[in-house]
A = this chain, B = another copy of it.
Amino acid sequence: MDVGFVGLGKMGRGMAASLLRHGHRLSIYNRTPGKGEDLVRAGAKPVTRVGDACQGEVVFTMLADDRALESVVYQDHGILGSLQKSALHISSSTISVALAERLSVDHAELGQRFVSATVFGLPDVAAAGALSVVAAGGPNALDLATPLLESVGKKVFFLPGMPRNANLVKLSGNFLIAAAIEAIGEALALIAKGGIAEDEYLKIITTALFDLPIYKNYGAAIATRKFEPAKFTALLARKDIRLALAAAYELQVALPLCDLLHRRFLTLLANGGENLDWSAIGSLAAKDAGLP
């Protein structure tokens, strides 16, 4: 298929590479040029204007936040203005539920299609084409998207209802991971101050109860205070937690644990931690407890 790909950050590059490996023809665009050289060597065609990535049946976007996505969609000769009728915009960015709703409406008004296809997985998983994809949109749009989503993801989940549902699932998923990080951080602060070795503790807990990479990997990061290089920065994670709270606000749902996570990120950032891995919030309980 002729596919445009907008946004060549760590995640986007991996997804674009997966699409190429599955035989799709790719036009790639990034605001900052020179980001997709590997992809060009693998056959992608670099373009210098967003609109030039919107000439095929489908354009993917994978950008950092609402503002970045709004920019490429709503600018002159942006996605909205360039996409053909019936063509499809697949949005994989972790954006607000509100923006997903607005994009649904705006694309529909122009006869364009829109699918939210959010993804779970770190950059190495994206590079391996092994993401978990959560997709929502109209049935025809999903039919068109499916082979592409299966190229970037090991598993593709289809949700009924509006595209925004996929965004809410993504935000709630990142909330769940951050919640696990906080829980591990508090547990480690408690047992460490009680004199128990953190690594021995984690071995027990992740064998007996939480035999899962999330608990193992983030537990190890917290126990060793190793938060660099970041796989997912605190700055980006803070945004996601904030978007989860924004959705909760609109829906009038009080989420005390999510509020706590938000405060943890604010505190981390206020003390210079924006480029640390998001698991660094798991070190704050120990810090409050006076542990080194």
Contact = CB atoms under 8 A, between A and B. Distances in A.
A209 B253 CA distance: 23
**Interface size class for chain A?**
35 or more
A249 interface: yes
A271 B286 CA distance: 11
Contact of A190 (B164, B172, B209): B172
Nearest to A97: B194
Nearest to A131: B208
Interface stretch (A36-44, A60-68, A262-270): A262-270
Given A173-B208, A190-B251, A290-B270, A260 B262 contact: no
Contact of A176 (B184, B214, B256): B184
Contacts of A289: 251-254, 266-267, 270
Contacts of A264: 254
B173 A205 contact: yes
Interface in A127-180: 132, 134, 155, 157, 159-161, 164-165, 168-169, 172-173, 175-177, 179-180
A208 B154 CA distance: 10
Copies held by the complex: 4
A168 B190 CA distance: 8
Contacts of A187: 172-173, 175-176
Given A252-B290, A255-B189, A208 B157 contact: yes
A255 B253 CA distance: 19
Contacts of A285: 253-256
Given A132-B208, A211-B212, A266-B254, A172 B191 contact: yes
B161 A196 contact: yes
A180 B177 contact: no
A229 interface: no
Interface stretch (A1-9, A20-28, A240-248): A240-248
A264 to B, nearest CB: 8
Contacts of A97: 194
A269 B252 contact: yes
A202 B190 CA distance: 30
10 contacts: A132-B207, A161-B196, A165-B194, A172-B187, A176-B205, A183-B257, A186-B253, A186-B255, A256-B285, A259-B263
Interface of A: 97, 120, 132, 134, 155, 157, 159-161, 164-165, 168-169, 172-173, 175-177, 179-180, 182-184, 186-187, 189-191, 193-197, 200-201, 203-205, 207-212, 214, 242, 244, 247-249, 251-260, 262-264, 266-267, 269-272, 285, 288-290
Q: Which 10 A-B pairs have the closest CB atoms?
A: A132-B208, A179-B183, A254-B263, A270-B290, A252-B270, A253-B289, A259-B259, A254-B266, A172-B187, A193-B251
